[in-house]
Homo-oligomer: A and B are copies of this chain.
Amino acid sequence: MNNFTLHTPTKILFGEGQIAGIAAEIPQNARILIVYGGGSIKRNGVLDQVHAALAGRSIAEFSGVEPNPTYETLMKAVEVVHREHINFLLAVGGGSVADGTKFIAAAANYTASDDPWHILQTGGQDITQALPIGVVLTLPATGSESNSGAVITRKASGDKQAFHSTLVRPQFAVLDPVVTYTLPERQIANGVVDAFVHTLEQYLTYPVDAKVQDRFAEGLLLTLVEEGPRALEEPDNYAVRANVMWSATLALNGLIGAGVPQDWSTHMLGHELTAMHGLDHAQTLAVVLPAMLRDRKAQKREKLLQYAERVWNLRDGSEEGRIDGAIEATRGFFERMGVPTRMSDYQLDGSSIPALVEKLEEHGMTALGEHKDITLADSQRVYEAAR
């Protein structure tokens, strides 16, 4: 096991009716900005629950944060923060809204540059203060509700980049599985795939004898395999939605990645597909991951065999056969969730691959993976194999 520091201070309020609990978590005299997306929280009653919980408080609203939240939109929210003297941000939505709110929190009083896009260019390392954040989660997927990372897109340049700062980690997150009942199938499917790949990026590397982290990762994977398809078939099964929601948070709150190598190459290649072609984040992961695993079989051999045995119960036959079986089982799981796994399924013929690789280079993604040995040529080969 590698050395690690693990800090998971976000307070989790989990279960039906827990939105009412935000009243006790936000300072009484706070000037609150509710940040949300396209308005589904108006239709499903979540925004009403939030207002009921915060009756009598000072509240402003900012809506219109997109999936893959953009710098351009978020800078308008920063203006509202300044104009209304906001000192608490309440994100109500999925990972995009949480990510966007983190950017607003950091950009509001950013001093290292006149242009807050600098936060993305420097990965967040020179953030010195941020507004406090709470999250009411409506879509289990990214884990953003209790971690310190965010991914922001700049429309003008087609860039999609990440930043991290413990200063933007939410103080609390409300996870009520009931609010996910009305989500479109595609969003639940994307969320399950996203959480699954988050787990794999921290698990399918090389062994460091970290038995607890391995068992926990496998526990999340097994749960998502069991509950993912049921979440589509039985949208108002509380227990199923609860298991999916809790899995997605734990997949990326720092716990399973503490003390182990991490990969994240699939995410990096995926980000470029979203930025250039507008694919959903999870769709890009479903496309890239199987190709990446096939390409990295040698480097990931021992963990692929463990994955095959413990998650897919593949114990017989040759090692090669079990590894291939596990990769194809992973692809089959994504397909069963309704998320296709080939570029061609999204009307991409591969002609943009050189441009995608150029973007990787532009973003400094020239040595990816747990061994930092995935070159641009390797990435190009993976994109080609994903056609």
**Contact of B5 with A12 in the complex, beta carbons under 8 Å:** yes
Known: A1-B242, A2-B15, A15-B2. A219 touches B218 (CB 8 A): yes
Instruction: Report if A39 contacts B (CB, 8 A).
Output: no
Chain B residues with CB below 8 A from A1, complex form: 14-15, 239, 242-243, 246
Report Cα–Cα, A215/B14, bound state, in Å: 18
Kindly report how many copies of this chain are found in the complex they form together: 2
Most buried by B among A7, A212, A226: A212
CB distance from A172 to the nearest CB of B (A): 9
User: How far, in angstroms, from A16 to B214 measured CA to CA in the complex?
Assistant: 20
| Cα of A16 to Cα of B1 in the assembled complex, Å | 10
Number of interface residues of A (CB under 8 A): 41
**CB proximity of A198 to chain B, nearest CB, Å:** 14
CB distance from A169 to the nearest CB of B (A): 11
* Complex: chain B residue closest to A13, CB-CB: B5
- Known A2-B15, A211-B243; 9 more pairs at CB < 8 Å: A1-B246, A4-B15, A9-B9, A210-B242, A210-B243, A211-B223, A211-B227, A212-B243, A212-B247
A residues apposed to B, CB below 8 Å: 1-9, 11-18, 21, 209-212, 214-216, 218-220, 222-223, 226-227, 239, 242-243, 246-247, 250, 255, 258-259
8 closest A-B pairs (Cβ-Cβ)? Answer: A215-B219, A3-B15, A209-B239, A9-B9, A6-B12, A7-B11, A211-B223, A1-B242
